[in-house]
Structure 1
Amino acid sequence: MHKVERMQRENVDDLEKKLIPKGEVSVIGCGRLGIRVVMDLLEVHRGGAQKIYVFDNAKIDKNDIIHRKYGGEVGEYKVKFAERFFSDRVVGVAENITLNNLNLIKGDVAIVCIAGGDTAPIRKGILKYCEKNSIKTIGTNGVFGIDEKVKVSDAKYANGPVQYMNIKEEGHIVVGTGRFIRDGEPITPYTLDEISKKMVIECLKVLNKK
């Protein structure tokens, strides 16, 4: 190997050593979207999150196709499956985040993937806790729609379901179609894939500054 080639190789080796996972992420909810976010974070190479905490007390049932595709077993806690899938980097906590255990949330970024019913109170509680503890938050803003464009917005200015949270401050990033359940359209795997992709991109922007 010539001297110049050797120097270039050594330089690349040094750069690769610097591109390591760093920072921690809390994923709140491990359903159809949450498990996608976890898997996408794990697939990031030469960087990404060093540790991923996942919170959800639900178990896999026969309709949780995405979990079963990855090898999850019916009756298994969703978060424990995620932990079993990659125990070196994932910590599965089989609890739902509530207003009484917000202290469980940790890390540099919290990605909120909870859904179903009126989630506004707990989502607002999560935002308040994370703001107080300098944790960046990323959440959803509508997951319905057959062929809707997935948008990334600051929640303060976004149109869609997040408006019910009446957020007055800047800084909470939301990703979604802006569609409501009343619009009568399904939730497709393609939309969830795109939402997860953009959530992870926003997360990596934060981690890359560490």
Structure 2
Amino acid sequence: MIDDEIQKIEDSRIPRGRIDLIGVGRLGLRIGINLMQAHRGGPKTIGAFDGQKISGGDVIFTLLGAEIGEYKTDFLKRICTHPEEFRNIESHTEYVTEDNIDLVQGDIVILILAGGNTIPTAAKIIKHAHERGAKTIGTAGIFGFGDENIEIKDISEYDNNNPAVEELRAEGITENHLVLTTNKLIRDNEPVTPYTLDEVAKIITMNALKLLRDENDKNSNS
């Protein structure tokens, strides 16, 4: 009987559900690797979206064996050695737009967009995810030397001192969206260090896995 109960628990601790990564740059790669290494749970499918190819400046990629000119999402898929029936990386070598937004199907959607004004695009993706009942996590400035206080809380809990948060609010994202920030932006003339990225990736991964567990439990009980 005890062995049966243990087996039942073991059988329930398998990958379930889906997490989508919108952006697989230096931070997205770290989160993707964290998620694929999650044991006794985590997502069965990781949807990866990014239209950018790897260049010589993408040191974290090349250190891990990436080829210059390879799509970043294809590389993430390539380094996942799990059998596909256990954990699958779904590579989308394109940016998310209004034309393909329906490909975003994650129970949890993590937005790590960089370069230019990405707020309008992020807002559209968040609204699409919320319409589907998905949970969302994003960033609002992750600059800093590595000793910053990293905050993560619902967008409704922030004051009005972070311009990225305010821009999202102006686009209609006012609640039910987790935002992580070091409270340092490009204007502050500080770098984005690998130490900061490692810590940010860890915190986002932990929160995404907790949200996924809650969604999986809710679906199992419904």
Output the TM-score relative to the length of structure 2. 0.87
Following superposition, the deviation at residue 168 of structure 1 comes to: 5.1
Task: Please say if 1:148 is aligned against 2:151.
Answer: no
Q: Which residue of 2 aligns with 1:202?
A: 207
Q: Kindly, what percent of the aligned residue pairs are identical?
A: 39
| C-alpha distance in 1 between matches for 2:2 and 2:74 | 43
- CA spacing shift, 1:168–1:67, aligned 2, 3 Å: closer
Query: Counterpart amino acid of 1:81?
Result: F
- CA spacing shift, 1:188–1:12, aligned 2, 3 Å: same
| C-alpha distance in 1 between matches for 2:167 and 2:183 | 12
Query: Counterpart amino acid of 1:60?
Result: I
| C-alpha distance in 2 between matches for 1:140 and 1:189 | 16
Indicate which of 197, 206, 218 corresponds to 1:192: 197
Matched residue SS, 2:26: coil
Task: Please say if 1:41 is aligned against 2:35.
Answer: yes
Query: Counterpart amino acid of 2:204?
Result: M
User: Which deviations, in whole Å up to 9, do the C-alpha atoms of 1:128-177 show, x marking residues without a partner?
Assistant: 11111111110012110112111111112325222221255321001121
| C-alpha distance in 2 between matches for 1:10 and 1:100 | 49
| Contact 2:154–2:179 (8 Å) recurs in 1 | yes
Structure 1: tracts of 5 or more residues without a match: 1-6
| Contact 2:168–2:174 (8 Å) recurs in 1 | no
Task: Please say if 1:85 is aligned against 2:79.
Answer: yes
* Structural mapping, 1:161-176, within 5 Å: 161-166=164-169, 167=172, 169-176=174-181
Following superposition, the deviation at residue 100 of structure 1 comes to: 2.7
User: Which deviations, in whole Å up to 9, do the C-alpha atoms of 1:3-40 show, x marking residues without a partner?
Assistant: xxxx6555433322211111001100010011111001
Matched residue SS, 2:43: coil
Indicate which of 6, 14, 27 corresponds to 1:20: 14
Output the TM-score relative to the length of structure 1. 0.91
| Contact 1:37–1:197 (8 Å) recurs in 2 | yes
| Contact 1:150–1:191 (8 Å) recurs in 2 | no
Structure 2: tracts of 5 or more residues without a match: 217-222
| Contact 2:123–2:173 (8 Å) recurs in 1 | no
Following superposition, the deviation at residue 200 of structure 1 comes to: 1.1
Query: Counterpart amino acid of 1:165?
Result: L
User: Which deviations, in whole Å up to 9, do the C-alpha atoms of 1:173-207 show, x marking residues without a partner?
Assistant: 01121211000000011111111111111111121
Aligned alpha-carbon RMSD (Å): 1.5
Query: Counterpart amino acid of 2:182?
Result: T
| C-alpha distance in 2 between matches for 1:41 and 1:150 | 20
In our comparison, the structure showing a higher alpha carbon Rg is 1
| Contact 1:79–1:94 (8 Å) recurs in 2 | yes
| Contact 1:138–1:174 (8 Å) recurs in 2 | yes
